Structure 1
């Protein structure tokens, strides 16, 4: 069973997922990175460009999903180095520090809240998130073209691409596609017809929506919603 709540860390979400016996479902690209806790281990989920299928038996998870573009500064690693990867936090931070954090979470009554505290502590050690990156995410999530957004933000296309690689793990066009996919899924899950979903999410037509869902989610939209 999956549950989530808004985090005390601005823009982040704290979530838990416990086995239901129905098998794990694929994790879809969403523009975010996550700090994960499961069975005594701290992991980092990098930015996905394709569906991620959890391996092994079902297990309980807790996670903090960071607002797009904010995790690399907290973790001290460019996002593109973690693209489509799950890595141990001990590969990014000193092992002794990670062991102390694991002991702290293991002893907590609520591991999800303890994990959130780890994220808050990390955020307190670094500068505030770059407001330009947040504006970029907001504009693209509104369906604005990348070129128009770059001009509005007063940043050259090449510079925007480089900064996007570091912050999101891929360029702004890929980020725009992933955010558009998430808009479409939200609409379709609310009962909006596929044709209307395509128009409102910013696709050329329903066939364009179908191609993008198959490419980014790995299955047809109807199958994806049935699996959710």
Structure 2
């Protein structure tokens, strides 16, 4: 079972998940430009930015995580995002191992591990520099469908400098980030029951075929399979009955 809510940290999401036996119940994690700090039954892990769908390999029964807003996590972990691209690593590989182990044990012993994880993130965030408003402006413009060239000009960065800063902040260049955010826009429309062709155009794809290619490339699935897993009738504006299993 999966649940999430806005975290107390600006722009972040706090989520929890209880593992369900059987590989058919696993949810693929789709690229979203974000990084996570994850507590998994006593272990603290860092999930780097993804460029493709990631299928978790279950090793714990309970999970809690904080998903940082795009570009915010590198200052928290002290590591450029591109070093963690498409990776899951123990927090102890980035911080002092003994310290990471103690933090994991403290969260495990707490009455509410998710709340304890959120408290850890808030304390740490107070000790590092604030989010870069220029990078947040980059995300906002790309998420709204602006081109990379227009974004670079509007935020006062050259295209090359924007690319370098994007590698450190997001794990990949602005063109890849724009593709990821466009796919997220399109799939949100699909989940809302918008027909594929309309979802493609409204999200900024050239046509439905373009959206289908991007879904295969980034999400590792077809539009029809994604719609069914999300509980939406294929290419329809009619949601499937409640109780349909939702997987990414």
Relative to the length of structure 1, the TM-score reads 0.97
Q: Which residue of 1 is the match for residue 234 of structure 2?
A: none
Aligned counterpart, 2:72: 70
> 2:106, 2:60 → 1: CA distance?
24
Alignment of structure 1 residues 110-129 onto 2, 5 Å = 110-129=112-131
For 1:105, what is the secondary structure of its paired residue? helix
1:9 paired with 2:9, answer: yes
Query: What's 1:171 paired with?
Result: 173
Gaps of 5+ in 2: 230-246
Residue 39 of structure 1 deviates from its aligned partner by 1.6
- Give the TM-score normalised by the residue count of structure 2: 0.89
Q: Any residues of structure 2 matched to 1:211-222 within 5 Å, and which?
A: 211-222=213-224
Residues 11 and 69 of structure 2 are in contact (CA less than 8 Å); yes or no, is this contact kept in structure 1? Answer: yes
Q: Name which of structure 1's ranges 48-57 and 119-128 shifts more when overlaid on structure 2.
A: 48-57
Q: CA deviation at 1:18?
A: 1.1
Output one character per residue of 1:181-208: Cα deviation in whole Å (capped at 9) or x when no partner. 1111110001111011001101000000
Q: How does 1:1-150 map to 2 (within 5 A)?
A: 1-21=1-21, 22-56=24-58, 59-150=61-152
1:56, distance to aligned residue in structure 2 (A): 4.0
Counting matched residue pairs gives 228
Q: Is the 8 Å Cα contact of residues 23 and 58 (structure 1) preserved in structure 2?
A: no
Q: Does the Cα contact within 8 Å between 2:40 and 2:60 map onto a contact in 1?
A: no
Is the CA contact (8 Å cut-off) linking 1:69 and 1:167 kept in structure 2?
yes
**Following superposition of structure 1 onto structure 2, how do residues 141-160 of structure 1 map, counting pairs within 5 Å?**
141-160=143-162
Runs of 4+ in 1 over 6 A off after TM superposition: none
> Which whole-Å CA distance do the structure 1 matches of 2:41 and 2:102 have between them?
15
Q: CA deviation at 1:60?
A: 2.1
Q: 2:41·2:60 contact (CA, 8 Å) conserved in 1?
A: no
The separation in 2 between residues aligned to 1:151 and 1:117, in whole angstroms, is: 38
Distance in 1 (alpha carbons) for counterparts of 2:228 and 2:50: 22
Q: Distance in 2 between matches of 1:140 and 1:71?
A: 18
Counterparts of 1:101 and 1:56, CA distance in 2: 21
CA contact (8 A) 1:27 1:53 kept: yes
Contact 1:24 1:58 survives alignment (8 Å): no
Once residues 32 and 61 of structure 1 are traced to their aligned partners in structure 2, the CA distance between those partners, rounded to angstroms, is 17
* Partner secondary structure for residue 5 of structure 1: strand
In 2: Cα distance, 1:95 partner to 1:16 partner: 24
